[in-house]
Amino acid sequence: MATDGRSLRERLEEIRQRGISAIRSATDRDEVEQARVEYLGRSGLISQAMSELRDLPVEEKPETGQTGNRVKGELETTLELRLSEIEAAAAASAPTTSVDLTLPGRRSWRDGIHPVTRVIDEICEIFREIGFTVATGPEIESDWHNFTALNIPLDHPAADMHDTFYLADDRLLRTHTSPVQARVMLAHEPPIRVLAPGLCFRRDPWDASHAPAFEQIEGLAVDEGIDFIEFRSAIDFFVQRFFGAGTRTRFRPSYFPFTEPSAEVDVTCFLCDGSGCSTCKGTGWIEIMGSGMVNPAVFDAVGYDSEKYTGYAFGMGPGRIAMLRYRIPDIRLLYEGDVSFLEQFG
Ligand code: PHE
């Protein structure tokens, strides 16, 4: 640009005027971009002019510098404004004939958390607060871990109840997560507080209320001096957190070979608040887990001193809990992988 003896400030003003009109007369994005490069680019007119600052007498520098910055800012604002005008105009005149805007949109769904996983995560999180960590064990188990260590003799009817898928030798698909109790105790000394979520397998039919593969969450606490009161408080803490404050808990006597005494835990029905509905079959109570104080025979099997240690164990079916909570009428929905069902749990 010719200097014609004019001051740098005067020339900056001229750049400003020409720049503004170049930007305003741009009619599309390319022309705006051209103007940007010419005026605001790294070696554009403003940069060139500003590089002359250093040759100015000291007293002129601040004011000229400010002028340069102001011009630059104004051009940038004008440019943004022009770009949005151009975009708005393009959107307004876009052809609409090929797109029927009244059609429902195609929602995209990439992933979500499975309702059973959601329940498992929540349960683990609640028990984490009272010192439980998460452990896992193999789905293919030995019959020793699955039955014998848990005080279930192989010819015991309780083993039949768990009729399962046998593999070669003494291997089988575990029928419950309780063998993880034995594995954790064999690997660690007390104190122990673990949860073990995982899949279990039984030779059950595939119908609305049975699946041959389903999840369980096992819980185990072993220490010196654990009594039934500690057991009940831990379960109560969990129930209040998971099902809501005010939910009541009931322990019903039951039988499991690996716990003594054993109990089924019921909670007040969270759908009718205990007044009786079709979900709780009019009883007001819903069974959520099998549980009990660890049978000393199990401590003997894993080599723990059964005179010194006591503990409690429990097992829940998070799939069943998810069905109740989300009112899912058919267990197969949990395992078929049908996206139109699963995406509701986004
Ligand atoms: N393993 C038992 C079942 O599958 C549940 C259970 C676990 C009961 C731990 C008591 C203690 O039915």
**Is residue 274 pLDDT above 90, yes or no?**
no
Token pair for 231: 């057991």
Instruction: Specify the residue with its C-alpha closest to ligand 1, atom 2.
Output: 315
Task: Give the pLDDT of residue 97.
Answer: 67
Q: Is the dihedral of CA 172, 173, 178, 180 positive or negative?
A: positive
Q: Are residues 295 and 154 in the same domain?
A: yes
Supply the mean pLDDT for the chain: 91
Q: Whose alpha carbon is nearest atom 7 of ligand 1?
A: 315
State the DSSP string of 278-316: TTTTTSSEEEEEEEEEEPHHHHHHHT--TTT-EEEEEEE
Per-residue confidence (pLDDT) for residue 88, from 0 to 100: 83
Domain-embedded: residue 34: yes
Give the model's pLDDT for residue 94: 72
What is the per-residue pLDDT across 164-202, written as a single tens digit (0 to 9) for each? 888 988 899 999 999 999 999 999 999 999 999 999 999
Token pair 């009619």: residue: 27
| pLDDT-based confidence at residue 3 (cuts at 50, 70, 90) | low
For position 141, what pLDDT does the model report? 96
Number of domains in the chain: 2
Whether omega before 261 lies within 30 degrees of 0, making that bond cis, reads: yes
Taking only the tens place, the pLDDT of each residue in 201-230 is 998 889 998 999 999 999 999 999 999 999
- Helix (H/G/I), strand (E/B), else coil: 108: coil
**Backbone φ, ψ for residue 133 (5° rounding):** -110, 175
This model's pTM is above 0.75: no
Whether the per-residue pLDDT at 2 is higher than 60: the answer is no
Q: Are residues 197 and 321 in the same domain?
A: yes
Residues 144 and 204 in one domain: yes
Q: Which strands make up the sheet holding 192-201, listed edge to edge? A: 133-134, 192-201, 213-223, 310-316, 285-294, 259-268, 249-256
Domain containing 320 — which CATH number? Answer: 3.30.930.10
- pLDDT at residue 152 in the model: 93
Residue 109 lies in a domain: no
Atom 10 in ligand 1: which residue has the minimum CA distance? 291
Burial class of residue 98 (count of CB atoms within 10 Å of its CB; 0-12, 13-18, 19+): exposed
Cα 256 to ligand 1 centroid, rounded to whole Å: 7
The domain of 159 spans 115-345
Residue 103 lies in a domain: no
Around 173, how many Cα atoms within 13 Å sit in the side-chain half-sphere?
Answer: 14
d(CA 40, ligand 1 centre) in Å: 73
pLDDT per residue over 116-167, tens digit each? 999 999 999 999 999 999 999 999 999 999 999 999 988 877 666 667 888 9
Is residue 228 included in any domain, yes or no?
Answer: yes
Give the atom of ligand 1 at the shortest distance from the alpha carbon of 262.
Answer: 10
